[in-house]
A and B are shown apart, each in its own frame.
Chain A
Amino acid sequence: MNIKRYFAAFVILFVLLNIALVMNLCIGSVNIPLSEFYKMANRLPADETYQEIITQIRAPRALAAIILGGAIALSGYLLQTFFHNPIATPFTLGVSSGAKLIVALVMVASLGYKSLLNSWTMIFAAFVGSMLCMGFVILMSKAIRQMAMLIVSGVMIGYICSAVTDFVVTFADDADIVNLHNWSQGSFSGINWENVRVMAIIVVITTICVFLLSKPISAYQMGEAYAQNMGLNVQQFRVIIVILSSILSACVTAFAGPVSFVGIAVPHLVKGLLKTAQPILMIPACFLGGSSFCLFCDLLARTVFAPTELSISTVTAILGAPVVIYILLRRKKEKVG
C-alpha cells in the first residue's frame, strides 16, 4: 500500500537525520560519550568543555549542514523539474559557480570594509550571481533543445566562473584570503550562530513557499502544454521556480561555497525510496534527505583525515557522482529497451 510506503520512507529519513545529527555532535577531534550527550540533551549538569564544544562549534555547524543540505537538495529538485532533466542542479548548470564568483568579488572588494560583509550581503551577492548565471542558462536552453548539451554548457559556464574566481583569489593577496580559499572549495566550517539564524530564516521561508507550490509543480511535470491547459500560468510559474531555486542555492553558496552532486543524488535516491514523484511528498523528503546526506558528508570531511579537513564537495562528489553515472546508464537502457 502506497500510504504505508510513504510513511515508512519518512520514518527512515527522520531516523537517519537524527542519527546523523547525534553523530555529528559527538564525533570529532574530541569524542563526546553518548552518556554526556544524553545529560546535555536533558539539560542535566554535564562536562563544561563538552558543552562548549557542542554549543559553540559543532551545533551551529551541524545545523548549517541540515539547513543548507536541505536547501541544496531542494534547489536541485526544482531545477530538475524546471528543465525536465534529472541531472540539472545549481552545480551542474554553473549557477552555484556564478554565485561563487560574485561572492568572491564582493569579498575581495570589501576586504578593507569588514563591517559590510555580513550574512545578508553575502547572500545577496550570491543571489545576484545565481540569477545572472540562471538567466544565461535559460537563454541557452532556448537555443539548445538537447538536454545533455545544456548540461555540458552549464558545466562550461561553471568552469569559466571557477577559473575567474581562482584568479581573483590568487591575486587578492591578503591574510584573509585563506578563508576565502577554503570557502571557495566548499566547506561547512567556520559557521557561527548568527549565520545559522540568517540561513534558517531564508531557507525555512523559501522551503515553505516551495511546498505551497507543490500542486503547480505536479501540473508542470506533465509538460508545459498540459500544465497550461490545467490552468497554470506557466510563464509566471517558471519565473517563481527560478527565483526560489536561486535563493536556495545562493544561500548555500554564500555560507558553504559550492557543494556538488547533493542536488542530483538526493532527489534521485529519495524518489527511489518513495517510488513516486508527487511534489507534495518529494519536497519534504528531499529536504530531509539532503540534510542527512550533508550531515554524513560533513562528518566524513571532518573526521576521515583529521586533523586535516576535506572540502565538503570532495566527499559529496565521491558519494554522489556514482549516483549520477547510474542515472545516465539507466536512462540509456530505458531508451534502448
Chain B
Amino acid sequence: MKEIKVGSSAVGLFGWCTALGFCVLVVGCSGGDVGHVSGRVAVGGKPVTKGAIVFENPQAGISVNAELADDGTYTVRSHQREGLPPGTYQVAVRPTAFGGEEAPLVTDPNAQPSVAKSDIPEKYQSVATSGLTATVKKGDNPPFDFDLKP
C-alpha cells in the first residue's frame, strides 16, 4: 500500500510539472512585442475597395502590404505576427491588389505597361510623397483610418 501511494504522488508531481512547463511555454510564445494595426481607407469619404495599404519603416527593414477589403478596411499582419513592431511608419495606398502570380514577360517591346486607373491620388501611392504616417504602440491601437483628399 505504501509503495502505491509513493508512486501515485510521483505521477502527480510529474503531471503538475508538465502542466506548469506547458503553461510557461504557452505564455512565453503568445503576445510578443507587436502593436495591432487595422483601420479603413477612404478617398473623400468613399471607401477604397481595391488595392493595398503599405506600412514602411526603412530603418527596421519593414515594408508590409495589407490588402483592402470590399469596405476599405484592412488588418496588418505577416505570417509570423499579428501586427507591427512599435514605431513610426510611413504609409502609402497602392491602387492594385498585392501579390498574385508573376506577370508574363512583355509581348510587345513598344507597348507601355498599363497603369491601373484608380481614385487614389498619385501622391498617396508612394511613401516618399504621401506624407501619411502612423505611430504604432505595443498592444492594441486605435484604428488607423485614412481619409485621403481626392
Indicate, yes or no, whether A interacts with B: no
Chain B positions near chain A (C-beta within 8 angstroms): none
